[in-house]
């Protein structure tokens, strides 16, 4: 029994040590106003007002891939996977990368968004298209979706410009893609997620206030 008590004490020390050492001003790797909607394998109490303590606790536990921090109570939930991310004003959340996934275009400053915002000044990276070149390959249609079957579709969190650049980048890199559609229909992509569809034979445009279509020239 004494060994069990000592073992539990050691685990508790490992979980709380990163929290005590957390820098309260460090907000990296956090997504305010969101929560991962899934079961947690352990609940840890960390100081109120210090979400970095929860983040660092997750980073220090190899089982942890995502975390939720409830600001009002200091509850820190550790999750062993990365479930759906949902809006929740009472929480701050984040995930820990345990490998090196492909870069997410939404994490990079893009040259321009389709709303015509000002692009950054040249020069661009070698081989990288300028803002006008990249978006110039598309005829953007707001509040519309191109009909026809999609040969590729997936859901993801619509960061940055709402996930439009990410979907446009996927289409631009695929020769068979003739159109992309970004949809935020509540029944298909609950916020903050969006759905990206790639289409090789787009049909006529259908009105959809929850969609945006990019047609390749």
**Strand partners for 156:** 194
Q: Phi/psi of residue 108, each to 5°?
A: -105, 145
Q: Which of 154, 207, 149 is nearest to 182 (CA)?
A: 154
Integer CA distances (angstroms), 129 to 114, 186, 217, in order: 15, 34, 16
Exposed, middle or buried by CB within 10 Å (0-12, 13-18, 19+), for 47?
middle
Contact 52, 58 (CB under 8 A): no
pLDDT at 102 over 50: no
Per 3-state DSSP, the chain is made up of helix, strand and coil in percentages (nearest 5) of: 20, 30, 45
pLDDT tens profile 45-72: 999 999 999 998 988 887 788 999 999 9
Report d(CA 24, CA 153) in Å as an integer: 39
Q: Of residues 161 and 143, which shows the higher confidence score?
A: 143
Q: What is the pLDDT of residue 63?
A: 79
Q: What is the mean pLDDT of residues 81-96?
A: 88
Least confident among 7-16, 107-116, 141-150, 181-190:
7-16
Contact 130, 119 (CB under 8 A): yes
Sheet with 152-157, strands from edge to edge, namely 138-146, 205-216, 179-183, 193-199, 152-157
Report d(CA 179, CA 145) in Å as an integer: 10
Domain architecture of the chain: domains with CATH: 2-95 (3.50.4.10), 105-216 (3.50.4.10)
pTM strictly above 0.75: no
């Amino acid at each position: 029994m004494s060994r069990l008590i000592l073992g539990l004490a050691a685990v508790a020390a490992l979980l709380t040590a990163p929290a005590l050492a957390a820098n309260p001003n460090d907000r990296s790797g956090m997504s305010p106003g969101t929560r991962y909607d899934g079961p947690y394998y352990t609940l840890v109490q960390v100081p109120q007002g210090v979400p970095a303590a929860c983040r660092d606790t997750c980073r220090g536990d190899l089982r942890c891939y995502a975390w939720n921090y409830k600001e009002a109570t200091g509850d820190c939930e550790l999750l062993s996977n990365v479930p759906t991310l949902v809006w929740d004003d009472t929480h701050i959340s984040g995930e820990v990368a345990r490998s090196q996934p492909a870069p997410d275009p939404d994490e990079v400053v893009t040259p321009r968004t389709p709303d015509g915002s000002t692009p950054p000044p040249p020069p661009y990276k070698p081989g990288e298209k300028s803002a006008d070149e990249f978006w110039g390959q598309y005829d953007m249609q707001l509040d519309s979706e191109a009909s026809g079957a999609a040969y590729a579709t997936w859901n993801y969190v619509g960061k940055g410009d709402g996930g439009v650049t990410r979907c446009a980048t996927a289409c631009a890199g695929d020769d068979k893609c003739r159109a992309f559609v970004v949809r935020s229909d509540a029944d298909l992509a609950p916020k903050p997620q969006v759905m990206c569809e790639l289409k090789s034979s787009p049909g006529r445009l259908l009105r959809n206030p929850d969609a945006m279509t990019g047609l390749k020239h």
